Amino acid sequence: MRTSRLSRDTTRILAATRTHPPSRQTRSGAHAAIRDFSLNTVEAGHVARTGHRESASTVRNGDAYSDSELSSAPDSDSEGGEAMGSRKRKRGQAASAAVKHETKEIAITTIASPKKQSKVKKARRVPAKKIKGADGSIKIESPPNWEEIYALTRQMRNENVAPVDTMGCESLADRHMSPRDQRFQTLVALMLSSQTKDTVTSVAIKGMQDNMPGGFNLESVLALEPPALNAFINKVGFHNLKTKYIKQAAEILRDKWNSDIPDTIEGLTSLPGVGPKMAYLCMSAAWGRDEGIGVDVHVHRITNLWGWHKTTKPEETRAALESWLPKDKWHDINNLLVGHGQTICLPVGRRCGDCKLADRGLCPSAVVGKITKVKEEKVLTKVESTSGETVIMEKEVVEESDVKVEDVEGTVLDIEDIGKEPRRRTPRKPW
């Protein structure tokens, strides 16, 4: 009759205990013997179930028994148990290896991940200050770091060619004409530039220079009928109103200024459609005298973004700048900021990520955007080949957008110099 492995091992253990001479046992010793017997019985059962063999000798009551002494000849049950144990060991080793691999990957990722870069500290708005002296005189203290801001902006301007550099009003006059005609062309170009891009203004001036009968000069403009003059400038903003102003100004120049443009700010601003900005720019470009700063929408907007002052009108900005900015910068600052506003500090969608001032924390209005993937999809298109077979083509479409919050508050339209107030939009009523 076939007996189980547990029964055989139990019989051997009992037989081994009988071979030892009987000894006097106390109650605690009897309990210890019973406990050892129970442990050995459980241990033997574990060996029978799992087929595992301990390599070390088993010690009980000072006697050593190896596995070989407690084992019997292998049978089908033991072979099956050993095979099952071998499979379990392999699974256990594989699981252990997987855990180690995962831990290693986490460690590598942790080490390789770069530290977060500290954000550049944003500049504070520190405008020019009025300081009252002991004698009652008032001195204007320039904004801090203005020289560094100016130098970095000039560096960016030298690296990026703007429309004003090649198509600005100062460079549109025909240099083959007489100085008087060049001054008149400069004045007309400035009158056309209001609310008009330099690219459009330059095309209109070039068309008048090439196609106007008798050449582009005061006498030719006086000879033209308003509809004919309007046809030359019909691409610029407010061309109907500007046609009227140019015709009136030409008559005033003929009658009061000896067919030349005035050489004073008061004389220039007396012409219809000519405001302070045009007058100061015309004095600088036509007569070579810097008597003030020509403040247009870019100069007004950018200097307020820099925090040099807090003004609401271009004339307030001009007075604030002239109170502390060195006079040798009065002519340059207009070209500097107009070009900066055309290339980087745009009226809508400022490119603060490309601005050196934002990198160094010098601009308090810097808003750095992030390039974010908006859409990424695969498009399958069926195309029939010449052989009549249908071929499916896969195309991946990825769209990116520059996500940025834009602050355009305080933008002032450059309309004051043609005698019109900016139109205000009526807010829509909610449904």
Question: What single string gives the DSSP state of each residue in 407-424?
Answer: --TT---TTGGGT-PPPP
Q: According to the per-residue pLDDT averaged within each range, which of 24-38, 75-89, 230-244 is highest?
A: 230-244
372-404 per-position pLDDT tens digit: 444 555 555 555 555 666 555 555 555 444 433
Which option is the CATH number for 146-359: 3.30.470.30, 3.40.50.2300, 1.10.150.300, 1.10.340.30? Answer: 1.10.340.30
| Residue 192: pLDDT over 60 | yes
Q: Tokens in use for 371?
A: 């390039």
Under the banding of pLDDT at 50, 70 and 90, the label for residue 129 is confident
List CB contacts of 44: < 8 A, sequence separation 6 or more.
Answer: 5, 6, 9, 10, 13, 70
The reply to whether 277 belongs to the active site is yes
Under the banding of pLDDT at 50, 70 and 90, the label for residue 235 is very high
Give the span between the Cα atoms of 100 and 378, in whole angstroms: 38
215-227 per-position pLDDT tens digit: 999 999 999 999 9
Report, as an integer, the average pLDDT of 71-91: 50
334-361 per-position pLDDT tens digit: 999 999 999 999 999 999 999 999 999 9
What pLDDT does 298 receive?
A: 95
Kindly list the domain boundaries of the chain, sorted by start residue: 5-18+32-79, 146-359, 370-403
Under the banding of pLDDT at 50, 70 and 90, the label for residue 31 is low
Give the span between the Cα atoms of 51 and 92, in whole angstroms: 16
What pLDDT does 44 receive?
A: 47
Report the DSSP beta bridge partners of residue 383: 391
Tell me what percent of the residues of the chain surpass a pLDDT of 90: 51
What mean pLDDT value characterizes the chain?
75
Active site residue: 139, 277, 373, 378, which one? 277
Q: Angle at Cα 185 formed by Cα 417 and Cα 287, nearest 5°?
A: 80
What pLDDT does 331 receive?
A: 92
Residue among 52, 127, 125, 132 nearest 84 (CA): 52
Under the banding of pLDDT at 50, 70 and 90, the label for residue 53 is very low
More confident residue, 146 or 67: 146
Report, as an integer, the average pLDDT of 32-50: 50
Under the banding of pLDDT at 50, 70 and 90, the label for residue 126 is confident
By the 10 Å C-beta count (0-12 exposed, 13-18 middle, 19+ buried), 154 is classed as: middle
By the 10 Å C-beta count (0-12 exposed, 13-18 middle, 19+ buried), 315 is classed as: middle
What pLDDT does 128 receive?
A: 81
Under the banding of pLDDT at 50, 70 and 90, the label for residue 127 is confident
More confident residue, 230 or 83: 230
Under the banding of pLDDT at 50, 70 and 90, the label for residue 406 is very low
| Residue 229: pLDDT over 80 | yes
Under the banding of pLDDT at 50, 70 and 90, the label for residue 58 is very low
What pLDDT does 55 receive?
A: 43
Tell me what percent of the residues of the chain surpass a pLDDT of 70: 58
Q: Tokens in use for 193?
A: 């530039």
Please name the residue ranges forming H helices in 125-238: 146-159, 163-167, 179-193, 198-211, 218-223, 226-232
| Residue 113: pLDDT over 50 | no
Report, as an integer, the average pLDDT of 8-16: 71
- Say which range, 84-93, 155-164, 220-229, 406-415, has the weakest mean pLDDT: 406-415
Give the span between the Cα atoms of 276 and 268, in whole angstroms: 8
251-299 per-position pLDDT tens digit: 999 999 999 999 999 999 999 999 999 999 999 999 999 999 999 999 9
More confident residue, 246 or 34: 246
List CB contacts of 202: < 8 A, sequence separation 6 or more.
Answer: 167, 172
This prediction's pTM: 0.60
| Residue 207: pLDDT over 90 | yes
